[in-house]
């Protein structure tokens, strides 16, 4: 079956199916025509991946499981311990929220420094709060895409200026000048279209979300 049928059957987007293939969770054979051909085995594997993702089991853990480096029993036991740790961490965050509510704190009366010192102490004891130093994956990708597009556009703009300057020094037929100038213009338009498509893809977020695991 084709990937569109698999999407409808399993309820996983084409983007994420490709992502799981890239991560080595899914091996899909190609038919003689070069297109990927999905079978019932791949459907079952994708259902397993969907289940484990719903349970918040990481890509790395799934790889170990599918490569028979770990049994399902060991994988689930380890994940259960991780969930217990998270539950303890959430309980500490909840406790701080409840205490601040009971103390009737307002933004004016809140002492953020004292709260941060308390959190720092709990983190040294093993608690895990939100890591504020983490880079926003989408922001990083957006910045990279925009930077690449700007460099290409500036390069093509410089090329146009160079062509026009060269024409003032040694004029060429107008038709040829327009043809030569049109090439960097087309590249600029193509770059802008590609950038718009990339921005839309990044905003979709599905692959970004999957890549966090």
Q: Output the tens digit of pLDDT for each of the chain's 213 residues.
A: 888 899 999 998 888 898 898 888 988 888 777 788 899 999 999 999 999 999 989 889 999 999 999 999 999 999 999 999 889 888 988 998 999 999 998 989 999 999 889 888 888 888 888 765 555 566 777 888 899 999 999 999 999 999 999 999 888 898 899 999 999 999 999 999 999 888 877 665 444 444 443
CB 7 within 8 A of CB 50: no
**Count of residues for the chain?**
213
CATH class of domain segment(s) 3-66: mainly alpha
User: By C-alpha distance, which of 152, 145, 139 is closest to 195?
Assistant: 145
Query: Does pTM surpass 0.75?
Result: no
CB 57 within 8 A of CB 75: yes
Question: Helix crossing, 59-66 with 40-54: angle to 10°?
Answer: 140
Rounded distance between C-alpha atoms, residue 135 and residue 131, angstroms? 10
Q: Is the dihedral of CA 187, 189, 192, 193 positive or negative?
A: negative
């Amino acid at each position: 079956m084709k990937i569109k049928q698999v999407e409808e059957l399993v309820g996983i987007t084409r983007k994420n199916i490709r992502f799981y293939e890239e991560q080595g969770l899914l091996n899909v054979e190609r038919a003689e025509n070069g297109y990927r051909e999905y079978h019932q085995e791949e459907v079952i594997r994708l259902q397993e991946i969907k289940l484990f993702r719903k349970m918040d089991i990481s890509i790395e853990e799934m790889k170990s499981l599918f490569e028979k480096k770990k049994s399902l029993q060991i994988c689930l036991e380890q994940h259960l311990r991780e969930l217990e740790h998270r539950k303890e961490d959430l309980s500490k965050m909840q406790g701080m929220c409840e205490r601040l509510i009971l103390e009737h704190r307002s933004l004016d009366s809140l002492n953020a420094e004292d709260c941060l010192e308390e959190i720092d102490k709990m983190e040294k004891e093993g608690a895990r709060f939100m890591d504020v130093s983490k880079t926003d994956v989408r922001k990083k990708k957006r910045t990279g895409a925009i930077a690449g597009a700007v460099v290409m556009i500036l390069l093509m703009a410089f090329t146009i200026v160079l062509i026009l300057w060269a024409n003032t020094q040694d004029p060429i037929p107008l038709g040829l000048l327009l043809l030569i100038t049109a090439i960097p213009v087309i590249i600029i338009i193509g770059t802008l279209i590609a950038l718009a498509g990339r921005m839309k893809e990044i905003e979709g977020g599905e692959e970004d979300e999957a890549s966090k695991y």
